[in-house]
Amino acid sequence: MRSGERRAIAEAATLLEALRPGARELVTALGDYLGQALVVGFTGPPGAGKSTLVNAVVAELRRRGQTVAVIAVDPSSPVSGGAILGDRVRMTAASGDNGVFVRSLASRGSLGGLSPAAVRVIDALDGAGFDVVLLETVGTGQSEIDVAEIADVRVVIAAPGLGDDIQAMKSGHLEIADIVVVNKADLPGASITRAQLEAALAMRVGGHGIPVLTTSALQGSGIAELVTAVDRVGKERLAAGVVARRRRRARYLIARAAADLVARRIKEGGPAVLDALADEVLAGAQTPEGAAGMLLTRL
């Protein structure tokens, strides 16, 4: 795996994704190599052009001599009927280019199932020594936002004409953005969307330094500028150190596993525990929030 053998990398990714026997030993063995890759998360509303943009970014990174791994969560949302990221990157990357590796993950959807797996696969690709790991997540749902937080650099993508989605972005993803991109700049309305996002960022604490770039992933414009911006933020983030990055991933995995554990225990505990607490709430002896605290102690 460390010498770049693709089959070994693929096997390692599967081992960690599915938490097969040996996963823990593998992470331990990789320990010294972990935390080196720059993880870049691309998030944004369905159909904004995330997959197309990631694909263009892969090509630009390769031009700059960086090795790139891509975690593609396909199929893409039914909303856009858009590009399948994994296939696209495979088509773009010259065949035989060992500097690009694509890992497709099974479709998201099952609550809590995918995101921790995606984070573990980051470990595999990081451990394999890729310079950059790119990750596409749809910016809906807390778990996707969590994964975006695992990234060292968060790129939030918008597109003109997304209307309500822009409103949602203002309250949601803009919070986590290091770089904002208005993709589909070849379409009318891009400059209006950009102005709206700049205005929203100006009101955000710490939002002043956040660049709002325009790209056309389809025509290839603005991609070099985007990669340069990612590089600039990435250099700062990598300076934070390997341990800090690994700790962030570990914290995320622990928190998600704990949430899953609680959900399972509640289910396994049967309705009895919940019913008793519900009666206390109905009797006014407990608030639902207080009862939640009690529930945790009874599981």
Ligand X SMILES: Nc1nc2c(ncn2[C@@H]2O[C@H](COP(=O)(O)OP(=O)(O)OP(=O)(O)O)[C@@H](O)[C@H]2O)c(=O)[nH]1
* By the rule CB under 6 A, 49 interacts with ligand X: yes
Strand partners, 100: 68
Dihedral, 117, 123, 129, 134 alpha carbons, nearest 10: 50
Answer for which of 51, 115, 143, 214 binds Mg ion (CB under 5 A) is: 51
Taking contact as CB under 6 A, which single stretch among the options 6-14, 144-152, 183-191, 228-236 is the one that binds ligand X?
183-191
Backbone phi, then psi, for 63, in 5-degree steps? -60, -35
Helix axes 242-268, 270-282, angle to 10 degrees: 90
Which of 35, 41, 82, 127 forms a contact with ligand X (CB under 6 A)?
82
* Span of 74-82, 251-259, 263-271, 278-286 interacting with ligand X by CB under 6 A: 74-82
Stretch that binds ligand X, among 7-15, 25-33, 213-221, 291-299 (CB under 6 A): 213-221
* Contact indicator for 28, 16 with CB cutoff of 8 Å: no
Instruction: Give the residue with the Cβ less far from ligand X, 186 or 225.
Output: 186
Binding partner of residue 80 among ligand X, Mg ion, none, CB under 5 to 8 Å per kind?
ligand X
**What's the rounded Cα separation, in Å, for the pair 201 and 186?**
23
- State the number of CA atoms in the 13 A half-sphere of 30 facing the CB: 28
The reply to whether 196 sits near Mg ion by the rule CB under 5 A is no
One residue of 9, 16, 52, 169 binding ligand X per CB under 6 A: 52
Q: How far apart are CA 291 and CA 280, in angstroms?
A: 8
- Segment contacting Mg ion (CB under 5 A): 18-26, 51-59, 96-104, 167-175? 51-59
What does each C-alpha distance from 88 to 102, 247, 261, 273, 284 come to in angstroms?
10, 32, 37, 50, 57
In the bound state with Mg ion, the residue whose beta carbon lies nearer, of 181 and 200, is 181
Contacting residue, 36, 66, 80, 140, with ligand X by CB under 6 A: 80
CB of 251 to Mg ion, least distance (A): 27
What is the DSSP-derived secondary structure letter of residue 216?
Answer: B
One of 46, 129, 141, 211 touching ligand X (CB under 6 A): 46
Residue type, 17: E
Q: Is 41 in the site for ligand X (CB under 6 A)?
A: no
52 contacts Mg ion (rule: CB under 5 A): no
Enter the tokens of residue 84.
Answer: 């399948």
d(CA 215, CA 42): 14
Site residues for ligand X per CB under 6 A? 46-52, 76-77, 79-80, 82-83, 138, 183-184, 186-187, 216-218
